[in-house]
Amino acid sequence: MPPQTQKRRRIGYHGEERDEDNTRHRRQTKRVPESDEEPDPSDNDDEQDVDMGEPAGVDGNSDDQLVKKLVRYALACEYARIPIRRDGIRDKVLGTQARSFRRVFDAAQEQLQKVFGMEMAELPVREKRTLKDKQKAVKRGASQASASSRQYILISFLPQEYRTRPIIGPSRIPSTAEEAAYVAFYTIIISIITLSNGELSDMKLRRYLTRLNASQNLPMDKTDHVLQKLIRQGYLDKIVERVEGDEDAITWCVGPRGKVEVSPHSVAQVVSEVWGDLPDDFDEKLEKSLGVQRTAQARAANQADNQAETEEEEE
């Protein structure tokens, strides 16, 4: 049957088969008004936007949700003192809308500044200090100055006049006293390392810890455990170089987080507070040791504090 049918259609193409085709065409023509409207050529713009980098289905409301998620993620990371990684933002916040990173990041930065008085600051890249690490960097052709760490932490965005103890106090978790002691400890250690040309041997660090009586003044844990915690959180770097036939050479340096949180200007303020009665050439020596230039406002503030302390002692 099928071969005969095909043969009959070929023979009668200009006759009966033509009528069937016309009938079928008329039926299709009648069905057109019942179907959806013809697609507008402008409807393909969304697909082109997706190909060009705009995520599909992203509108103002979804952007707001992504911004809120990023703000919560940044606050959670800062609470645990872990860096805000760009890969974490893509995986845990953006998901399939990774191409919206810059827009969502800028909006979240604005919300952090206006609402919480903080902002995300990029961490510097860890320095290549050992000879082995430097050789690897040279082979890879990586420039440490131009490289990006792709990691951020939250820092204060408040003006300098509002960065006072009554406004920015220690956290209540685990307790105010313990948090204040922890912040004071790593600030002092970072200040000592910074004033020692950026690195300190393990023997000298232990000597300073003995003078600070750290084993008794640290309420949270043993000194070695606290140092390990500072390494994990990025405040300190411990460089161990293997030496054949001798003990390992251990050097302590300031970590990426420590460089951002405790800047040279913060070190200058700490030294000024600890020093007490400042000599006349104190600012010049401190600027030379830190490699920074203090502002006239900072110098005037130190002089005013010293004068106030002298008047209190005389009274």
The model's pLDDT over 179-235, given as tens digits with 9 standing for 90+, comes to 999 999 999 999 999 999 889 999 999 999 999 998 888 877 899 999 999 999 999
Q: d(Cα 271, Cα 279) in Å, to the nearest integer?
A: 13
Q: What is the pLDDT of residue 202?
A: 93
Domains (range + CATH), the chain: 62-122+152-162 (1.10.10.1200), 176-314 (1.10.10.1210)
Report which of residues 17 and 274 the model is more confident about.
274
Residue in 194, 200, 198, 170 with CA at minimum distance from that of residue 183: 170
Q: pLDDT value at position 294? A: 54
Q: Is the pLDDT of residue 81 over 50?
A: yes
Evaluate if residue 43 carries a pLDDT over 70: no
Structure confidence at residue 133 as a pLDDT band (50, 70, 90): low
Q: What is the mean pLDDT of residues 90-111?
A: 92
46-50, 196-200, 297-301 — most confident range: 196-200
Question: In this structure, what token pair is assigned to residue 258?
Answer: 């420590």
* Span 60-79, pLDDT tens digits: 458 899 999 999 999 999 99
| pLDDT number for residue 183 | 93
**Cα-Cα-Cα-Cα dihedral of 13, 14, 20, 23, to 10°?**
150
Q: Which helix (H) or strand (E) holds 274?
A: helix 264-275
Percent above pLDDT 70 for the chain: 67
Q: What is the mean pLDDT of the chain?
A: 76
Q: What is the pLDDT of residue 256?
A: 94
pLDDT (tens digit per residue) in 150-185:
999 999 999 988 888 888 888 888 888 899 999 999
- What pLDDT is stored for residue 134 in this prediction? 64
Read off the pLDDT of each residue in 135-159 and give the average, rounded to a whole number.
Answer: 75
Strands 118-122 and 84-85, how do they pair? Answer: unpaired
SS (H, E, C) 3-68: HHHHHHHHHCCCCHHHHHHHHHHHHHHHHCCCCCCCCCHHHHHHHHHHHHCCCCCCCHHHHHHHHH
The verdict on pTM exceeding 0.95 is no
pLDDT of residue 89: 94
Average pLDDT (48-71) is 60
pLDDT of residue 152: 96
Confidence grade of residue 311 (pLDDT, cut at 50, 70, 90): low
DSSP bridge pairs for 84 = 152
Q: What is the mean pLDDT of residues 108-123?
A: 95
Query: What is the predicted pLDDT for the residue at 50?
Result: 28
| Bigger pLDDT: 256 vs 137 | 256
